[in-house]
Amino acid sequence: MISVQEALQTILNNTQDFGVEEIPFLKSVGRVLKEDILADRDFPPFNRVAMDGIAINHRFFEQGIRDFKVEGVQAAGAKQKTMSIASNCIEVMTGAVLPENTDTVIRYEDVAIENGTATIQLDTLEKGKNIHTKGKDRNQGDVLVVKNTRITAAEIGVIATVGKSTVKVAKTPRIMIVSTGDELVEVNEIPEAHQIRRSNAFTLVALLEELKIKAETAHITDDKEQLKEKIGTYLEEYDALLFSGAVSKGKFDYLPEVLEELGVEKLFHRVAQRPGKPFWYGIRNEKSVFAFPGNPISTYVNCLAYFYPWFAKSSGFELKEETVILGGDVSFKPSLAYFLQVRIEVKYGHLVAIPVKGNGSGDLASLVRADGFIRLPKEQTELKKGETYPFIRYRN
């Protein structure tokens, strides 16, 4: 049986490039930037007044002068003024251009203004104080955001300020999510005693939504002909397919044979892990087919542990791997890697993973009590409180 690392490597060797599209910048949150964002001008673009107050010529202060006649007002949004008499001052507002002929700003708090004269109430004053000088942050042409960054609110501000109303981003793949099984009914249906609702399909839709992928979903019953016919069409119409169920050893677990009959090359079936051992993965015409085991937590963790990295590499961004401190001893005997559900607590500034007790991979409701999974290595059976392990987060 293939290891978690080998399975992941196989999947990462089969990433796809979905191309680039140009979209309105405000629609780009969560998407992967496919161009460098350059400064269209210096940051700030002019000597920017950083405090409300007065602007003077520092040399007069140096000469011991404290009273300055107010010559005018420089507001933010007004063209740069020139102070005509060098020993005067101009009232200046935060965000305004520093008036020509001035070099230092004094806050209103340090000035008394009476009868048109400002008296500076400071003993010392640094030249250039309270001025955010032109180009101090970045210069025109500097790269502000590098290609392949996943866009957050921080990037949106930068994109907006350089005047890019549209941006190039990685296209998202067309994905079909298929649930399988005769026991499954729709969300708006009342299941009979032997039935359940097809929740995994929607968990997957939501997990992909987090990646800004708008996936479609369908359901196929445990009927080999139906499976073959519908999946045959999906293989033509979509970039990748995600399945939940029908990959284990049951009489109606037709998926592996159906996929192979349709010409999907099996790259592995079964991974040395729990949950999610019967995971099947294959490709046809470079298109990936992820067939996740049907137990809800198996589907869930496999999507996070394999589909997410596949999508990240396909789109060109890196998923950051976190590590957390195990908050309690764990014993796990089988020779399998173990994705342990944990809740995160912050203790003394460290992320501590508290194991969440559940009833195995069928215990769908236990997912809401956890924040993610820690990946425990196959070789170890006794895991000790205080050790650190990689963490796959699904809740912030």
Q: Applying CB under 6 A, which residues contact ligand LQZAQKY5?
A: 179-181, 183-184, 196, 198-201, 244-250, 253, 275, 277-278, 293-296, 298, 361-362
Distance CA(341)–CA(361), nearest Å, equals 10
How far apart are the two ends of the chain, measured CA to CA in Å?
33
244: contact with ligand MOO by CB under 6 A: no
CB–CB of 83/46 below 8 Å?
no
In 3D space, the residue among 365, 369, 372 whose CA is nearest the CA of residue 396 turns out to be 372
Q: According to CB under 5 A, which residues from 253 to 272 bind Mg ion?
A: 253
**Residue 293 within binding range of ligand MOO, rule CB under 6 A:** yes
Provide the mask over 40-79, with x wherever binding to ligand MOO is found by CB under 6 A and - wherever it is not: ----------------------------------------
d(CA 341, CA 304): 13
In the list 148, 161, 226, 248, the residue contacting Mg ion (rule: CB under 5 A) is: 248
Minimum distance between the CB of residue 378 and ligand MOO, rounded to whole angstroms? 14
User: Does residue 277 bind ligand MOO (CB under 6 A)?
Assistant: yes
The site for Mg ion, by CB under 5 A, has a size of: 3
Count CB-CB contacts under 10 A for residue 209. Answer: 13
| Min dist. Cβ of residue 7 to ligand LQZAQKY5 (A) | 15
Contact between 200 and ligand MOO by CB under 6 A: the answer reads no
For residue 166, what are the β-bridge partners?
A: 24
Residue 80 tokens read as: 């740069």
Q: Which CB, 53 or 275, lies closer to ligand LQZAQKY5?
A: 275
Amino acid at 309: P
Measured from the CB of residue 308, what is the shortest distance to ligand MOO in angstroms? 17
Nearer to ligand MOO, 165 or 359 (CB): 359
Helices (H) and strands (E) in the chain, counts: 8, 28
**Per-residue contact track with ligand MOO, 8 to 47, x per CB under 6 A?**
----------------------------------------
Contacted by 247, from ligand MOO, ligand LQZAQKY5, Mg ion, none: CB < 5 to 8 Å by type: ligand LQZAQKY5
200 binds, among ligand MOO, ligand LQZAQKY5, Mg ion, none (CB under 5 to 8 A by kind): ligand LQZAQKY5
Q: Minimum distance between the CB of residue 253 and Mg ion, rounded to whole angstroms?
A: 4
Partner in contact with 302, chosen from ligand LQZAQKY5, Mg ion, ligand MOO, none, beta carbon below 5 to 8 Å by kind:
none
Which CB sits closer to ligand LQZAQKY5, 20 or 196? 196
Can you give the C-alpha Rg of the chain in angstroms?
31
SS (H, E, C) 262-277: CCCEEEEECECEECCC
3-state SS, residue 250: coil
212/277 with CB nearer ligand MOO = 277
Complete DSSP assignment for 123-191: S---TTTTEE-TTSSB-TT-EEE-TTPBP-HHHHHHHHHTT-SEEEEEPPPPEEEEEE-TTEE-TTS--
Return the residue nearest Mg ion (CB atom). Answer: 250
Q: In sequence order, what are the residues at sequence separation of 6 or more whose Cβ sits closer than 8 angstroms to the Cβ of residue 343?
A: 353, 354, 356, 369, 370, 371
Tokens of 332: 């796990």
Q: Which residues bind Mg ion (CB under 5 A)?
A: 248, 250, 253
Q: Which residues bind ligand MOO (CB under 6 A)?
A: 274-277, 293, 295, 298, 361
